[in-house]
Amino acid sequence: MAEPLRKEDPIDLIEDPLLDPEPATERPLRWIGTPFRRVDGRAKVTGTTKFADDLTFPRMCHVKLVRSRIPHGTIRSIDFSAAEKIPGYLGCLTGADTPIPFGILPVSMDEHALCPDRVRFVGDPVAAVAATTEDAAYEAALAVIVEYDSLPTIASVEQAISTPEPRIHDYGDDGNLHKKVSMRFGDVEAGFAAADRIFEDLFFYEGNTHLPMEQHATVAVPEDDDRVTVWSSTQTPHYLHRALAKVLGLPASRIRVIACSNGGGFGGKSDPFNHEIVAAKMALILGRPAKIVLHREEVFYCHRGRHPVTMRLKTGVTKEGKITAHHLETALDGGAYGSYGVASTYYTGALETVTYDMPAYQFDGIRAFTNKPPCGPKRGHGTPQPRFGLEVQLDKIAVALGQNPADLRLQMLVAPESITANWLQLHSVSLDRCIEAVVTGSGYRERWGNLPEGRGLGLACGSYLCGAGLPIYWNHMPQSGVQLKIDRSGCVAVFCGEAEIGQGSDSVLAGIVAEVLGVDLSDLRLCVADTDLTPVDLGSYSSRVTLMMGNAALQAAERARDLIAKAVGDQLEVPADRLVFAERRVFDASDPSNPEKGLTFQDAVIAAEARFGTLGTVGSYIPPRSPGKYRGAGVGPSPTYSYSASVVEVEVDPQTGLWRPVHVWIAHDIGRALNPVLAIGQVEGGVYMGLGEVMMEEQAFRRLPRHLSNALVHKFPSMLEYKSPTFLDMPPVTTYLIEDPDPQGPYGAKEVGQGPLLPILPAVANAIYDAVGARVDQVPIHPHMVLKALDAKKKGGEPRYGPKSFPEVDFGETLIVPTPAQGGNGTAINEFRSKLRSGMRGVATGTMSTRDEALRQKKALTTKLEDR
């Protein structure tokens, strides 16, 4: 077995004749803005990238989880006697071995690696067995006999409301309601009173799952002195590190987590998982490496995918189409555990305000516990559902007001650098350019409403975070750190805790460092996602890596450049600020013809190492402080926001209700594309996933007849029956990267991984309306739904298919937050009372110093060190 440390293969030279870097204007950038081959590209096409299941170690054993077969109940007994007889059996674990609870959010540490007494869904792990082979481990797991006493089960939000007892968990805001949120920004009542028209609509967004091609896998290797190294397919090695320390009861310094390249994540590998903890525990107990690889059905039980959400939207508009007030209610079916659910609940309301001017806004949300696999963050985390509702409702408003939906949106856009009603600080906003691009590209203004029956165009927009403003657990430390080690070899070693999940974060890291230091990508060695060796980065979630890690990398590289420049400047007797780092050289920019006035990069490093001693620099990033200070204000803030607009053309067969996307035009306000070909890959991937969700994907469950069975099972936990689009189902996509560099991002870059999914679903629904005049207010849009809506239309009814009611629920006391326009200060006027029953205390306090303050402090410190 080769040394399993990642990134040991030399990075490709990018001198590729196929790629023709576009000449830039001012000072030419070698890497930034060019479609360079991703740094892990060669490894991925040669099959040498090491995914977690590709690792193997001497004496490695295999572990399988025994999962609950009942949806809710208590464990009466676990019998391993038959399993023990299987040749190769090595040992077992039960809940008694892992009694300490964990969970991704500090407010909902409600999971156990193995259930100690209660199971809460079919698939909940109750025991683990280890054996010398995977065959034997699977046979042994099947042979374990678990007896249960069943408890009543809850399958929906409505049942959770009507069944407060028995509780699935002994915590939460109300019975089986995990979370209740209610907040009002501005004078909503007055806004509705001032409206010329009020629109009320109900929507439903079915749950769906990430379906990464790689099934989760973990290998744990025990070392001497109670240490353990855990390789895992995780997007968040740092959070896994914390969970392992907590549950294993070991100091974090004795646990090393290495995130292998993820074979797809999409949010589905962002929680610390049962199997990761079990592998580590088993390895420590047995004293030998332990591997656990989930099979596909288990991946559906890990889940943490899109919450099913029922929504009620009420929007007041003037006859010109200005929004006067907006009220959003969401009901989330959370599944059996907390996961990211509290954040997901807030996220269904938080980004409602960042695209269109909304002077008054009310958000009410609940998340219910149900006896199904827990939901969590999937691409867009909590925001695709309300975005679907809002964008479809705007389409209805445009039709009702006789306006073109593009023009309706264009006249209500938020202003750049403004603060929203719910106190989110916006920066660059190029949504207008996004809309114009897709509208012009698709001929929307001329063709919308004018296509033959069965053909239609739909427009929708979206916006997403460039990283969550606050970390998941409250702290004052950076969200991302990058460390450089440069020595006389000329090699630049780059250390960062970021996790490559396929999105290209390694290439962003390498591209920025190589750009600043003027070296080739092959001069770099990356060491990432290793909690022992790399500075903390919180992980690949919330579209945070490009902006946060990128800024940290920029800072570390600029500090290294400045050190080297100082040494070279002194040696060449040239002012340091005249030196340019490019083409693997450091030279006097004003005198490029004189080779005496420059050094190779390696010689420049030698000069610096001689002058300052061993060279190393660090960079870190802390997001700016958000102006919102009310409870719950911790969810939604971001250093800046990306924007997207899409037009989708569909073909609908009114006889069958079958429809298909014909073409997608998408424009994404990316700030600046650090690597355009990789950015387009993210856009197209987001479009694909959005289409999958609106066309076919659903994480659906079924009960059996209650008088015969207590079963509540996933309908089809397989790749065959959980439908995801194939090569033949994907329409052509025209992608516009809208560049408007945002000072918040490295080289002006904003996120691209999640935002482009958001407009796709509502654009499709709006296009189907344009094609046949039927509204399907839920996703996925199955053909029978289109047909039902058309049937209703024929019978003179409302041409609509969708939910007919919103759950009757008390959202609790409403937090009253005056808006910036009302002269508010970001706090709620009834905060004190509410704080007494706060669920998100601390998360919302926003006490971190601003980035500028942090930079000033660190600059002073660095200067001191340099002067020493």
Partner 1 sequence: MPPGWTSLIFDVNGESRAAIFPTHHTLLEVLREELALPGTKHGCELGECGTCAVLVDGRPILSCLALAADMKGKKIETVEGLQNGNTLHPLQQTMADLGAAQCGYCTPGILMTAKALLTENPSPTDGEIRAALAGNLCRCTGYHKIVEAIEGAAALLRGEDWVAPREVLYGAVEPGREG
Partner 2 sequence: MLRLPAFDYIAAQSIEEAAAILSGEGAGEGSAEAAAQGQPSPVRLVAGGTDLWPNMKRRHQSAKTVVSLMEIPGLSDIQATHPQGEIRIGATALLSDVANHPQIRTRYPAFAEAVDSISSPPLRNMGTIGGNLCLDTRCTYYNQTEDWRRSIDYCLKEKGKTCWVATSSPKCLAHTASDAAPMLQALGARVRLVSREGAGGGTTERTIPIGELYRNDGIDYLTKRPDEILTEILLPAEADAAHCRSAFWKLRRRGSIDFAVLSAAVAVWVDAGGVVTKASVVLGAVASCPSVAEEAGAALVGKKLTEESVKEAAGLARRVATPFDNTDFQAQWRGAMVEVWVAGALRGCTAGDIGYGSDRVHG
- How many residues touch partner 1 under the rule CB under 8 A: the total is 79
For residues 487 and 609, the answer to whether their CB atoms sit within 8 Å is yes
**Does residue 230 touch partner 1 according to CB under 8 A?**
no
The helix (H) or strand (E) run that includes residue 770 is helix 760-772
Residues 770-789 that bind partner 2 (CB under 8 A): 782-784, 787
Specify the stretch interacting with partner 1 by CB under 8 A; choose among 143-151, 510-518, 674-682, 793-801.
674-682
**Does residue 719 touch partner 1 according to CB under 8 A?**
yes
Structure tokens at 868: 């020493």
Residues 133-152 that bind partner 1 (CB under 8 A): 135
Question: Would you give the end-to-end CA distance of the chain in angstroms?
Answer: 45
Query: Given candidates 192, 346, 444, 659, which one binds partner 2 under the rule CB under 8 A?
Result: 659
> Which residues does 142 contact at the CB level (< 8 Å), separation at least 6?
none
**Does residue 503 touch partner 1 according to CB under 8 A?**
yes
State the binding partner of 711 from partner 1, partner 2, none, CB within 5 to 8 A by kind.
partner 2
Structure tokens at 372: 């199904």
Structure tokens at 613: 């001693």
Query: Given candidates 296, 319, 476, 833, which one binds partner 2 under the rule CB under 8 A?
Result: 296
For residues 90 and 286, the answer to whether their CB atoms sit within 8 Å is yes
Chain Cα centroid distance, residue 204:
21
- Pick 48 or 857: Cβ nearer partner 1: 48
Q: How far apart are CA 58 and CA 749, in angstroms?
A: 45
> Which residues does 762 contact at the CB level (< 8 Å), separation at least 6?
387, 388, 389, 390, 391, 392, 395, 458, 460
3-state secondary structure of 140: helix
Q: Of 179, 114, 168, 181, give the one whose Cα is nearest residue 141.
A: 114
**Does residue 372 touch partner 2 according to CB under 8 A?**
no
For residues 491 and 609, the answer to whether their CB atoms sit within 8 Å is no
**Does residue 77 touch partner 2 according to CB under 8 A?**
no
Stretch 39-78: interaction string toward partner 1, x if CB under 8 A: -xxxxxxxxxxxx-xx-x----------------------
Specify the stretch interacting with partner 1 by CB under 8 A; choose among 34-42, 274-282, 395-403, 762-770.
34-42
Number of residues that this document lists for the chain: 868
**Does residue 296 touch partner 1 according to CB under 8 A?**
yes
Residues 419-458 that bind partner 2 (CB under 8 A): 454-455
For residues 46 and 10, the answer to whether their CB atoms sit within 8 Å is no
For 731, counting Cβ atoms within 10 Å of its Cβ (0-12 exposed, 13-18 middle, 19+ buried), the class is: middle
For residues 71 and 371, the answer to whether their CB atoms sit within 8 Å is yes
3-state secondary structure of 201: strand
State the binding partner of 35 from partner 2, partner 1, none, CB within 5 to 8 A by kind.
partner 1
State the binding partner of 715 from partner 2, partner 1, none, CB within 5 to 8 A by kind.
partner 2
Structure tokens at 605: 């490093």
3-state secondary structure of 738: strand
- Pick 634 or 690: Cβ nearer partner 1: 690
Rounded to a whole number of angstroms, the minimum distance from the CB of residue 132 to partner 1 is 13
- Pick 481 or 690: Cβ nearer partner 1: 690
**Does residue 67 touch partner 2 according to CB under 8 A?**
yes
State the binding partner of 454 from partner 1, partner 2, none, CB within 5 to 8 A by kind.
partner 2
**Does residue 487 touch partner 2 according to CB under 8 A?**
no
State the binding partner of 652 from partner 2, partner 1, none, CB within 5 to 8 A by kind.
partner 2
Residues 686-715 that bind partner 2 (CB under 8 A): 696, 704-705, 708-709, 711, 713-715
For 55, counting Cβ atoms within 10 Å of its Cβ (0-12 exposed, 13-18 middle, 19+ buried), the class is: buried
Query: Given candidates 735, 754, 778, 819, which one binds partner 1 under the rule CB under 8 A?
Result: 735
Query: Given candidates 101, 175, 441, 725, which one binds partner 2 under the rule CB under 8 A?
Result: 725
State the binding partner of 18 from partner 2, partner 1, none, CB within 5 to 8 A by kind.
partner 1
Rounded to a whole number of angstroms, the minimum distance from the CB of residue 282 to partner 1 is 20
The helix (H) or strand (E) run that includes residue 285 is helix 274-286
Q: Of 645, 625, 638, 640, give the one whose Cα is nearest residue 671.
A: 640
> What is the binding site for partner 2 (CB under 8 A)?
67, 69-70, 122, 134-135, 138-139, 142, 293, 295-297, 454-455, 651-653, 655-660, 696, 704-705, 708-709, 711, 713-718, 720-721, 723, 725-729, 782-784, 787
